[in-house]
Structure 1
Amino acid sequence: MLNKKLIGLSSILFVMIVWGSSYPVTKMIINDIQPLTLAFCRCSIGAITLLLIFLINTDKPIKEYLVGVPWFSIIFMGLTGVTCFYTLFNLSAQLTSASVGSLIQGFIPVCIALFAAVFLKEKLSVVQIVGITASLVGVMLIGFLSSDNNSDTRNSITGNLLMIIAVISWGAYTIMSKKTAAHFNPLLITSLSTCVGSLCLLPAAIFENRHSGWPVIHLNSLLAILYLGAVSSGVCYLLYSKSLQLLTAAQVGNFANLDPVVGLIISLVFLNEHINILQIAGAVLVLGGIVLSTRKSRLAG
């Protein structure tokens, strides 16, 4: 039991460090490739990576694995965790800063806690409710109340709102993934849902490039896409699904504390971005709220 928990904790730790870097990395290349095209390329590479890992680890014909698979859950996961999430994620990266986007992305564990309470019937304590409220106030402060009234700000607010919707979409993916991981092969389910999500992105990418044609991708952008696809959307999706099998949904959500911290550090150091005092206050509320809202799982673990 201890070894399984250690594997789960190590997996989710690696995932959150990689995912914490994904928003700044996306921000670095979003001007070289259009957002829906980037989403398709990233998720397709992730799907191929997952399928290769699955094929290497199969010990029986693939047809046998497909018997009884929950196609409704797979399609739902593909739409929420791949198509919707990465579409909104990349559109947000076009419109807002990497530092602010990373901080809003840090709202994920609170969203998971809320969804777990509603759909998995996990009870929330008074402390957790206080934490969720603090995080909500923090996100509002970061995303909507800490900017001046100008054109760039209006774009930023739109980008922030898109990121919030992306977070909600990821919360829905996590809850469905948690429910299916207990009964089906997580690698198969994750591979199939990523394939479904990637296929749904293809028409959007074709439409996006209908006039200009497919873009010429430079070496730095190509390396970034490979990192985002193979590592962040491939290996990390597998490890995330595995951690959901070994840990509780709240424990997994708790490790998302690292996500905005990693993203913020990368944004400030490598992209030379700045955040104002109100956004700092909002970040404190979000991170403090995350600690409180996941306190129950920490005590139980």
Structure 2
Amino acid sequence: MKFNKRFVYGVLIGILGVVLFSSKAVMVKMAYQYQIDALSILLLRMLFSFPFYVLVALLYRKRGQSTYVTPKDYMWVFLFGFVGYYLASYFDFVGLTYIKASLERIILFLYPTIVLLLNKVFLKQPITNIQAGAIGLTYLGIVVAFWDEVAVSGNDTYIGGIYILLSAITYAAYLVGSGWLLPKLGVMRFTAYAMIVSCFCVFVHYSLIIDVPLWNYPWQVYLLGSLIALFATVIPSFLVSASIKMITSSNFAIVAGIGPISTIVLAAVFLNEHLTMLQLFGALAVIVGICFVSLKTKQ
């Protein structure tokens, strides 16, 4: 059997990207220990990310464009940036004020099943019996993990769970709705534009809601904000794109399964969070179900 260096490098790059993405929830929870609110830490993430995405937008402004882009297309970019990155991120950060980072990642990992359901409702794409069974297994795992966490942490878990589920739904809606724009703009250009839109949405939201100066927090908050922006947002987005190009999206679906696992490990190390055996069983059911759904969907 011939050794495929490109495939191995693609897998390693994908693993690194997934682990970095997974560190976001842990670093956000660490920032909350310094009494910062969800919108302020989200603003710091966007402030530190903004220059990188502006640079990407400038570098790719003439690339990846196969057809003429109309003003209406840019209106759709604004809508998808608002829904897929601003709303999804805001719901996620608020949800993290109520629940564990490890449980957040498990709930967010539901988004491929939501994509399937949205495609079924709005695009009339069929769901096979195998996919339906995998979806059932996934939601059974969520119920098990979530129900046990309510018993441990109390009713605030419901509030956090709803916010994280809204984050997964808005992100899934973004994926379903934006697919037709990718060939027109290219992945890098579209992502940069959508992220720039989300940055401005957060800037406006903050200016309307928060009247506390942003620069009165401990230095650790700004360090975590920059780390979230660079190592949990910008860098992994490029790593994941490179990995998918090298090993295909169906193979990356398997690699992505380490996301919840890495979050659970990081949360245990840095936040002293520990899941019960019942929650670990639920997490395993979610991971197996989602990986199977993703593989079948890509095929």
TM-score (norm 1): 0.81
In the alignment, which residue of structure 2 is the partner of 1:287?
287
In the alignment, which residue of structure 2 is the partner of 1:257?
257
- Over the aligned positions, Cα root-mean-square deviation in angstroms equals 3.3
Change (3 A) 1:156 1:140: same
Preserved contact between residue 113 and residue 253 of structure 1 (Cα < 8 Å): no
Mapped to 2, the partners of 1:122 and 1:176 lie a distance apart of 14
In the alignment, which residue of structure 2 is the partner of 1:171?
172
Preserved contact between residue 96 and residue 155 of structure 1 (Cα < 8 Å): yes
Preserved contact between residue 186 and residue 242 of structure 1 (Cα < 8 Å): no
Question: Which aligned pairs between 1:215-226 and structure 2 lie closer than 5 A?
Answer: 215-226=215-226
**Cα distance, 1:231 vs structure 2:** 3.4
**Cα distance, 1:55 vs structure 2:** 2.8
In the alignment, which residue of structure 2 is the partner of 1:101?
104
Q: Deviations over 1:17-64 (max 9, x none)?
A: 21111111111102432111211221232232121134345669xxxx
**Cα distance, 1:252 vs structure 2:** 5.4
Structure 2 unmatched runs, 5+: none
Matched position secondary structure for 2:150: coil
Mapped to 1, the partners of 2:245 and 2:50 lie a distance apart of 20
1:87 and 2:86 are equivalent in the alignment: no
In the alignment, which residue of structure 2 is the partner of 1:190?
191
Preserved contact between residue 109 and residue 256 of structure 1 (Cα < 8 Å): no
Matching residue's letter, 2:92:
F
Which deviates further from its counterpart, 123-132 or 154-163? 123-132
Which deviates further from its counterpart, 170-179 or 194-203? 170-179
Mapped to 1, the partners of 2:123 and 2:11 lie a distance apart of 21
**Cα distance, 1:114 vs structure 2:** 3.4
Preserved contact between residue 177 and residue 241 of structure 1 (Cα < 8 Å): no
Structure 1 unmatched runs, 5+: none
Preserved contact between residue 60 and residue 189 of structure 2 (Cα < 8 Å): no
**Cα distance, 1:162 vs structure 2:** 0.8
Mapped to 2, the partners of 1:40 and 1:179 lie a distance apart of 29
Mapped to 2, the partners of 1:214 and 1:66 lie a distance apart of 41
Preserved contact between residue 128 and residue 295 of structure 1 (Cα < 8 Å): no
In the alignment, which residue of structure 1 is the partner of 2:276?
276
Change (3 A) 1:13 1:66: farther
Preserved contact between residue 13 and residue 243 of structure 2 (Cα < 8 Å): yes
Mapped to 2, the partners of 1:9 and 1:174 lie a distance apart of 23
Matching residue's letter, 1:198:
C
Which deviates further from its counterpart, 77-86 or 251-260? 251-260
Mapped to 1, the partners of 2:240 and 2:197 lie a distance apart of 18
In the alignment, which residue of structure 1 is the partner of 2:54?
51
**Cα distance, 1:256 vs structure 2:** 3.0
Mapped to 2, the partners of 1:58 and 1:286 lie a distance apart of 39
Which deviates further from its counterpart, 186-195 or 106-115? 106-115
Change (3 A) 1:164 1:214: same
Which deviates further from its counterpart, 236-245 or 87-96? 236-245
**Cα distance, 1:289 vs structure 2:** 1.2
Change (3 A) 1:222 1:23: same
Change (3 A) 1:47 1:242: farther
TM-score (norm 2): 0.82
Change (3 A) 1:54 1:243: farther
Question: Which aligned pairs between 1:117-266 and structure 2 lie closer than 5 A?
Answer: 117-118=120-121, 123-148=126-151, 152-210=153-211, 212-240=212-240, 253-266=253-266
Mapped to 1, the partners of 2:60 and 2:6 lie a distance apart of 19
Matched position secondary structure for 1:274: coil
**Cα distance, 1:239 vs structure 2:** 5.0
Mapped to 2, the partners of 1:8 and 1:66 lie a distance apart of 32
Matched position secondary structure for 1:275: coil
Q: Deviations over 1:222-269 (max 9, x none)?
A: 222112213333233455567778887766555431211111110112
Q: Deviations over 1:59-78 (max 9, x none)?
A: 69xxxx99536223312221
Change (3 A) 1:182 1:230: same
Change (3 A) 1:236 1:68: farther
Matched position secondary structure for 2:227: helix
Matched position secondary structure for 2:155: helix
Which deviates further from its counterpart, 47-56 or 76-85? 47-56
